Amino acid sequence: MRRPFQHLVTAALAVGLAAVAVPAQAQTTYPDGGDRFKRVAYFIQWGIYARNFHVKDVDTSGAAAKLTHINYAFGNVGADGTCVSADPWADWQRPVSAEESVDGVADQPGQALNGNLNQFRKLKGKHPGLKVLISLGGWTGSKYFSDAVLTPDSRSKLAASCVGLWLKGDLPGLPAGTGAGVFDGIDLDWEWPGSEGNTGNVVRPEDKRNFTLFAAELRRQMKEYDPKSQLTAFLPAAAAKIDSGFEVRDVFRSLDFATIQGYDLHGSWENRTGHNGNLFTDRKDPNPVKYSVDTTVGDYLSRGAPARKIVVGVPAYGQGWTGVKSTGDGLYEQATGPAPATWAPGTEDYKILVNKPGKRYRDLRTGTQWLYDGNEFWSYDDPATLLEKAAYIRLKGLGGSMMWSIDQDDAKASLTSALHKVLR
């Protein structure tokens, strides 16, 4: 028998979302006066290179008009304990051609601010309600977070450097304030306080408390500079990582909202197929730990996170395996390795997967879709899957959705549009 709330979500899809009453708690008016639901998407800094995806594409696809926030990934925390750019050329030095520019006007010789930051400034001019946040860290940029937040002095130093570089816009080599007004806030993406992340990361037991203290100090300095600035964070799915790294109730007091990991619940690093971002737990899942978005949401709620501040992460990509032999649908079967893909083995963009041959399967009970062609297995979200997740977010009274990452959606912003249809 389905759990009552799970049944409510699937029933909402069956009868049409417009006919479903929205709980009172989902009708909260946010303190910043913005949309009821946050619709966040990450824009990757390096996407302008091989992927040939530019800030202009967020506009021409129609996505910009359907988002409330863009998180720009990533800024780094340097070995000296200060905020630094991971790629100044992409951020503010690269001259953008007329063809790649949001307004069709090329950057001019001698212009102070170029690159992605100038394009975000233009994008916000076209979409005044859109907020852009700089995201700090990421999988490969979190090595020095632990050192940088170790003491009161180091926390103050890091916070001041982040406010100075990204909010005040004091970019190296340019007049003071050249980048002011581009960013509306800061997103903390430390992966992970108190537990293993990328190889070589500094990890300490004290990270858990120090993350709370740093968030409070950063919030204080940000509000001192700009009371309207927003502070958010990206938080993990695994309960063990939550408990080793985050004082949930205290951290959320400093955050406007937090985006929680709703993908990579299973992936091609494992030798058995599974779901990338299943909404509900699958009772047939043979794994000892059974992940789901609903389980993660429950973990944060039970630890004191306010529902309206929980923004659920959704993937615009799939996890894939090869060498999967099955007479059925390929789910939970052994694999020989990651499936070949465009940018990295085992992960592929939605815009490519949607046209990939093979038989597709859907399970409304778990909020999943997958593709299996007799050899390759791909777990990914499509617009229908995201409608179900959006219904869950709305009916649960949560804060909204976050997509990683916007360049992986198709040219019509099909995934972004599905979320916008429900979460507004």
Q: Which residues are catalytic?
A: 191
60 phi/psi in degrees, rounded to 5: -65, -25
- How many CB atoms lie under 10 A from the CB of residue 355? 7
d(CA 196, CA 202): 9
> Which residues 6+ apart lie within 8 Å of 238 measured at CB?
289, 291
Grouping H, G, I as helix, E, B as strand and the rest as coil, residue 42 is strand
Whether omega before 74 lies within 30 degrees of 0, making that bond cis, reads yes
Among the listed residues 29, 234, 230, the one whose alpha carbon sits nearest the alpha carbon of residue 130? 230
Q: Which DSSP symbol is given to 285?
A: -
Of 137, 123, 3, 4, the C-alpha closest to 64 is 123
Rounded to an integer, what distance in angstroms lies between the CA atom of residue 76 and that of residue 246? 20
Interatomic CA distance for residues 306 and 289, integer angstroms: 25
> Are residues 311 and 368 in contact, defined by beta-carbon separation less than 8 angstroms?
no
Nearest Cα to 35, choosing from 22, 26, 44?
26
Helices (DSSP H) in 127-261: which residue ranges? 145-148, 152-162, 207-225, 239-245, 248-254
Q: Is 23 helix (H, G, I), strand (E, B) or coil?
A: coil
Nearest to 392 by CA among 306, 253, 276, 298: 298
The total of other beta-carbon atoms located within 10 Å of residue 106's CB is: 15
The answer to whether residues 216 and 254 touch, using CB atoms and an 8 Å cutoff, is: yes
Tokens representing 167 are 């909010």
CA atoms of 51 and 67, how far apart (whole Å): 21
Give the whole-angstrom CA distance, residue 127 versus residue 134.
18
